[in-house]
A and B are shown apart, each in its own frame.
Chain A
Amino acid sequence: MSRARPARRLGVPAALSAQRLLADRGGLAFSVLFYVVVVSALSGLWRAAAGRAPVAGYSAVALTWYIATSEAAICAIQIRLIEEIGDDIAAGTVAVELLRPLSVVAVRIAMQTGRALARLACLIGCGAVLALLVAGSPPSGGAVLLAVPSLVLAVAANVSLQHAVAAMAFWIRDARSAWFIYQKFIFILGGMLLPLEVLPSALHTAALRLPFMAMAYAPARLASGHFEPGLLLVQAVWLVVMLAAATAAFAAGQRRLQVVGG
């Protein structure tokens, strides 16, 4: 009971953030439009590449569903989240949040996950319609169903890791460049732009062992017709690791913040 209460309390900021996002119709329309443009361009490239023969075992249809899913998993999250968290830490805004009876990082992760899941619902809905129109039905109905919880795990793991990375601002007071580099890891090693099977063998093996694969590749692999439930387990393990990393990084940083603040 005592453990369940903080978890329930975290549901409140998560739900409020989601409501706030859905209320901003203009901003949401902007996100959806941009997502549609990105998916149209990138999936168009992959369809052109796989027009004559499958690429690394992916057909043109599978690649379209792959890109619609991987882009939804990434576009759902605020693009400069690391930079914004870093700015809040550097400006001392985070010190005010220490007054709350809940962990700063837990509330922040809950809020950002709530926002991201609300946006994700809109994006993946549009992405599915787009993929149906330009490529056809998903290669496997069962695998697509597995992609839904996988997307939720992907978003939660990504938000958690971004908090862990942004905590560097407790020490160096600046995380502005970090989001740029972080995104590039997601683009290639996370499988956002391309299925990991397309990478050269050694890079493919390395990418499968890194946490970034849980953030775009796993749900996209499932949506592209590969019925591999084990991917959900891998994502769940990475989520626990990322949450622990973010909590530890913030705890260490907050101790330092108290020292700096006197």
Chain B
Amino acid sequence: MTQLAATLRSSMADAFARRASFWSQVGTMVANDAAWIAFWVIFFHRVGAVRGWDQHRILLLFAVLTTSAGFVLGVLSNTKRIPQLVNDGALDEVLALPVSPLPHLLVRRIDSINLGDVLFGIVLFAVAGHPNPERTLVFVVACIASAVLLTGFLVATGSLVFFTGSGQLGDMSLHTMLLLANYPAEVFTGYTRALLYTAVPAAFVAGVPARLVDHFTVAKGAALLTAAVVMAVLGWTVFSLGLRRYTSGSAWSRG
């Protein structure tokens, strides 16, 4: 744990080292998120409500999504680079250290640009989420569960590179997950909606947490926590199994 904290401190110091670049990247992401908010505001201003979702609830969804996904892609930024790290042989240096490889790998690099998402999400919740102690507590816990679930999913799909040799499935999963998490699952019907609660559990990343903040039920809370635990275990298992197949990044050892 101490080593993990030290690695995280070092990653943060690295991210903050170039202050001007850091803030310009954070500002860029805030502008990006503001454009999405503009889209949703215009959309709901024109159509009213869609299948139980209105402007207030979609802003809540976006607050959860930007906070949790921003944390995962910003603070644990290597979650999206596992295929590249494996193919480049960059795990060699991690395996030589007396630490558990996966947690160390995840906190080793911070992407400043995604910290803009975290900042935006927190401010959006403060402004449009009608925060009170109860809603804030649910928001925080739901964001943590969402971040755990997203990390597990990205690690699991990224680790498929150990078995397939190609990182394209990991990239596709990342983009698909983030894209679908932008929309309420209720917009979809039939198999597509079922998919969002199972194979690509995008509904649990933002839609379900947003509903919990608005209307907490034990059943939905338990479903979210269960999904997060299942995905975390899946990510850990696929990475651990895959690591056994990892031989070396040395170019001459690969066929």
Contact = CB atoms under 8 A, between A and B. Distances in A.
A257 to B, nearest CB: 23
A194 B51 contact: no
B42 interface: yes
B31 A181 contact: yes
Contacts of A41: 179-180, 182-183, 187-188
B254 interface: no
Dominant secondary structure of chain A at its interface with chain B: helix
A184 to B, nearest CB: 4
Interface in B26-62: 28-29, 31-32, 35, 38-39, 42-43, 45-47, 50-51
Nearest to A179: B28
Interface in A183-224: 184, 187-188, 193-194, 198-200
A187 B35 contact: yes
Given A44-B187, A177-B25, A184 B35 contact: yes
Contact of A188 (B24, B39, B176, B182): B39
Nearest to A199: B42
Given A44-B192, A194-B43, A184 B172 contact: no
A187 B36 CA distance: 9
Given A30-B171, A41-B179, A198-B46, A187 B39 contact: yes
Nearest to B200: A37
A127 to B, nearest CB: 16
A37 B39 contact: no
Q: Sort chain B's interface into a size bin.
A: 20 to 34
B28 A180 contact: yes
A34 B176 CA distance: 7
Interface string B1-40: 0000000000000000000000011001101100100110
Interface stretch (A48-56, A90-98, A163-171, A246-254): A48-56
A45 interface: yes
A38 interface: yes
A199 B38 CA distance: 10
Given A41-B182, A49-B43, 5 more contacts: A33-B172, A34-B172, A37-B180, A41-B187, A180-B32
